[in-house]
Amino acid sequence: MNKILVICTGNICRSPTGEYLLRSKLGPEYKVMSAGLGALVDHGPEPTAQKIAMDHGIDMSAHHARQVNMDILKWADLILVMENGHKRELLHKYPWLEGKVFRYGEPAQVDIPDPYRRPESAFQMAWNFIEKMTPYWVEKIQQGKV
């Protein structure tokens, strides 16, 4: 299991944060990408999300939002979503994904709230949730126990 896809809504705040955090913690043998269910295609990361990531030594400036599509879903060994609603939507449209879609906040039984168009504190909260959950996923992925 070395191909991980992180999904949110617009692919400019939460999923790029998860993607770049996972990339920073996993070795080069792992491929991580992100996409959105309603992506703002080709947009860079939301400026506040980028600022907070940079404050933590993560540069997401190369990111460009992409829309979820069949090729990306088939590519992924593991799909991490930010909300239960994302999981329901994916499984409704693509039932064959059952067993490889998990909520990023699953270890704490939480959705990662969408900070888009909200104050910087909402972005910081999303960062904190994602950063806190990342070691759990890194361990699971490296042990192949997802």
Would you name the residues annotated as active-site residues? 8, 14, 114
How many Cα neighbours within 13 Å face the side chain of 112? 35
Geometric angle at alpha carbon 66, from 32 and 15, rounded to 5° = 50
Q: 50: exposed, middle or buried (C-beta count within 10 Å: 0-12, 13-18, 19+)?
A: buried
* C-alpha span between 3 and 1 (Å, rounded): 6
Do 104 and 81 contact (CB within 8 A), yes or no?
yes
CB of 122 closer than 8 Å to CB of 141: no
